[in-house]
Amino acid sequence: MGEGSKIFSLSPKIRWLFCFTHPDDEITIAIWIKRLCAAGVDVHMCWTHSTPIRKAEAVTVATRLGVPESSLHFLDGNDGQVCDEIQHLLPQFRELMARLQPDRVCCGAFEQGHLDHDATNYVVNQTFNGPVYEIPFYHTYFIFWLQRFNRFSRPEGQEVLELTEAEVAEKKAVAKSYPSQNIWSLLLYHEIGQALLLRAPQLAKTERMRLQTHKDFRTPSHPPFKSFLVRLSRRWRIWLDAVEKSGHLK
């Protein structure tokens, strides 16, 4: 397999676009972005939602990772309402894809962790015809008392990037760079919960991506039991209604 065909490829021929929903989502893949920039690869980042404070935090983190401000793109989706704004966001994403002409687009996985994340994933898939790569944020809604972070519900097809000790420290520093949010304490509580389940803390030690193959947006992307529980949830009904109203399902 050639370097350009790997998911974690440093090929200078690949232009990357990372489509996040909220400033702070980039924590999950921050070190890979930093590696790309250090290698001189063309990297762009966009956010579906931002506020002046969150935009300033995202710019600070992106600069730390090596992405220039000219390669940052902020859209006008509203926090907690993105799945209701699909029609409004589609032309913005089309314009962005046409202007940047990325080779690869990366976004949060369609895994029913957050309606806003799933909506961004959906809009990306409706507006980009190339390969879409998924990054695990967390799943599945709040059906389970402890959501899973930084792990796919179905790990098939993933590639795992092992981080050095210095990169682990950098990833933790990035996670502390959003004072307007409670993301650092949330991640800390998650690690405590994992320890109570006798699982070793591991959020900061790896980053993961996979080529998105599940594109049936009317079906949960989980093993059967989790899919069954998702289908029973109110948020899934909200999601299905949003997809139907969008009228743009491929």
Residue 218: CATH number of its domain: 3.40.50.620
User: Is 98 inside a domain boundary?
Assistant: yes
Residue 78 has pLDDT above 60, yes or no: yes
Average confidence (pLDDT) over 71-75: 98
Mean confidence (pLDDT) of the chain: 89
Question: How many domains are there within the chain?
Answer: 1
- For residues 61, 63, 67 and 71, what is the CA-based torsion angle, rounded to 10 degrees? 90
Q: Tell me, what's the pLDDT at 194?
A: 47
User: Is 136 inside a domain boundary?
Assistant: yes
DSSP 18: E
User: Is 82 inside a domain boundary?
Assistant: yes
Average confidence (pLDDT) over 195-223: 81
User: Is 170 inside a domain boundary?
Assistant: no
Measure the CA–CA gap between 145 and 214, rounded to whole angstroms: 26
Residue 217 domain boundaries? 13-162+207-246
User: Is 80 inside a domain boundary?
Assistant: yes
Residue 223 has pLDDT above 70, yes or no: yes
197: confidence class by pLDDT, cuts 50, 70, 90 = very low
